[in-house]
Amino acid sequence: MRTKLIQDGALALAGAPFMAVLLWLTAREFGLGPAVIALMAAQTLLIVIRRVSPVNCVTLMLVLQTAISAVAPHGTGLRGIGPAIAIYTCGTLLASRTAVALAVITAVVEIGGYAVLSLPPYREPAEDMIKIGVHLALSLLLYVGAALVGAHVGMRRRYATVVEARMAADAVAQQARTEAVLTAERARTARELHDVAAHHLTSLIVQATLVERLFDQDPGAARKHLAAVREEGRNTLHNLRLIVGALRADDGADPHLPDGSGLAMIDKLVSGGEAVLTVDGTPGVQEPATELALYRVAQEALSNARDHAPGAPVTITIAYREPETRMEIHNGPPTGVPAPRDGAHRGFGLIGMRERVSLIGGELDAGPTADGGWRVRLTVPHPEVPA
């Protein structure tokens, strides 16, 4: 409210002197006295309350307009810019019917003051009636037009406000859904890595027991097993670091995670013939977290291809190269009818994949291809071998 007063005050302070100077320059030509100039300037100053109290602003301007008609030279029918601005403001703030009604009232009151105070005595009645009719038509055109323009502007402003509010609400809801998806993906990743760490620790215990038994009988073999224990411990520590900050939900293990290496798990995914798997290079020893990420990304990409590109050929290419492992899943354009999209969950598959990959320091890129298909690229760096 204070900002509106300041803005309208600046407009009034600029408009009033402008109106006064303009009338003063034409005062001799039209016979305008100081009273007319002062009233017209005062009418312009009322703009300061046009948005704070639009109806009162119009009312006060009509009072001043009547006074202007009384002191203006005979038959001039002077009108300032203030009433038109006030009616326009009513159009932006009030109901359109109310604004148009105020416009008509303003025109009638103005023409009444002109006909009663400015035009008499009627020396030529026919000509004077024509003047009154023309003046009324111009006043109606000016004020009703200002009201309609204001109503249009006000409607667009209100519509924009509603749209912005809806967009803000949708953004909040989208953020909440995204956070829920990220939380679920972190929980699932934590469960899987927890199981992997448990496997490592079991191996550590077995090898430590073996070292204890061989320590006196075969020191050389014991040292080899100690080196294996040390390496296993480092691998375990690396995987545990990956799940720091991830919360593990206590809802059991994922029943859809097959056993075996990452490549074996992906091979099972494509065993039904829905995709062609190509492997470049030798997998070697992969980190369990990397294997899980490869499997989960491939699983999600194949699921998306089934939903959004039914019947399209799908290829999975995995390249094992130092210092990173790369995987690309590409599907062509759909040949069938895609499944209906759920706007509330659109894009969350990619969010989950990116979150999983980021936890192991990898990068994921996804987007459309020139042939109308879709491509998902995953790059996971190999861990540095501890010294």
- For residue 253, the model assigns a pLDDT of 41
- For residue 9, the model assigns a pLDDT of 82
Dig out the tokens for 244 from the structure: 């720091």
- Count the domains in the chain: 2
Domain co-membership, 301 together with 155:
no
Look at residue 246 and tell me if it is in a domain: no
Task: Report the alpha-carbon distance of residue 48 to residue 169 in Å, rounded.
Answer: 35
Alpha-carbon separation of residue 373 from 114, 309, 313, 364, 370 (angstroms): 74, 8, 10, 17, 7
Among candidate residues 277, 347, 345, the one with its CA nearest the CA of residue 314: 277
Look at residue 218 and tell me if it is in a domain: no
Q: What is the DSSP string of 122-161?
A: -SSHHHHHHHHHHHHHHHHHHHHHHHHHHHHHHHHHHHHH
Domain co-membership, 267 together with 146:
no
- Strands in 276-280's sheet, in edge-to-edge order, are 276-280, 314-321, 324-331, 374-381, 363-368
Domain co-membership, 266 together with 163:
no
Look at residue 161 and tell me if it is in a domain: yes
Q: What is the pLDDT of residues 164-215, one digit of tens each?
A: 989 888 888 888 887 787 777 677 766 766 666 666 677 777 777 877 777 7
Element spanning 331, H or E: strand 324-331
152/121: higher pLDDT? 152
Look at residue 51 and tell me if it is in a domain: yes
Look at residue 268 and tell me if it is in a domain: yes
Task: Report the alpha-carbon distance of residue 136 to residue 74 in Å, rounded.
Answer: 17
Look at residue 204 and tell me if it is in a domain: no
Range of the domain at 36: 2-168
- For residue 189, the model assigns a pLDDT of 67
> Which residue's structure tokens are 């007063």?
5
Task: Please give the average per-residue pLDDT across 90-106, as a whole number.
Answer: 94
Task: Report the alpha-carbon distance of residue 153 to residue 145 in Å, rounded.
Answer: 12
pTM reported for the whole predicted model: 0.50
Q: What is the pLDDT of residues 122-170, one digit of tens each?
A: 777 788 788 888 888 999 999 999 999 999 999 999 999 999 989 888 8
Domain co-membership, 16 together with 156:
yes
Domain co-membership, 9 together with 155:
yes
Lowest mean pLDDT among 72-86, 100-114, 244-258, 279-293: 244-258
* Domain endpoint, select from 101, 135, 168: 168
Domain co-membership, 268 together with 160:
no
Q: Per the omega criterion (within 30 degrees of 0), is the bond before 120 cis? A: no
* Domain endpoint, select from 117, 152, 168: 168
Look at residue 387 and tell me if it is in a domain: no
Domain co-membership, 6 together with 125:
yes
* Domain endpoint, select from 168, 187, 214: 168
Look at residue 44 and tell me if it is in a domain: yes
Task: Report the alpha-carbon distance of residue 332 to residue 313 in Å, rounded.
Answer: 6
Query: CATH no. for residue 350?
Result: 3.30.565.10
Domain co-membership, 23 together with 149:
yes
Rg (CA), the chain: 40
Beta-bridge partner residues of 366: 376
344/353: higher pLDDT? 353
Answer positive or negative: Cα dihedral of 306, 308, 311, 313: negative
- For residue 363, the model assigns a pLDDT of 92
Domain co-membership, 141 together with 270:
no
> Which residue's structure tokens are 């969010």?
351
Q: How many helices (H) and strands (E) does the chain have?
A: 11, 5
The answer to whether the CB of 200 falls within 8 A of the CB of 231 is: no
Domain co-membership, 289 together with 159:
no
Q: What is the pLDDT of residues 208-241, one digit of tens each?
A: 787 777 777 777 777 777 777 777 676 666 556 5
220: Cβ contacts below 8 Å, ≥ 6 apart = none
Domain co-membership, 267 together with 138:
no
Phi, psi at residue 334, to the nearest 5°? Answer: -65, 145
Phi, psi at residue 249, to the nearest 5°? Answer: -75, 140
Q: Which residues of 260-280 are buried (b: 16+ CB within 10 A; e: fewer)?
A: eebbebbeebbeeeebebeee
332: Cβ contacts below 8 Å, ≥ 6 apart = 309, 312, 313, 314, 371, 372, 373
Domain co-membership, 270 together with 151:
no
The C-alpha angle 380, 381, 386, rounded to 5 degrees, equals 140
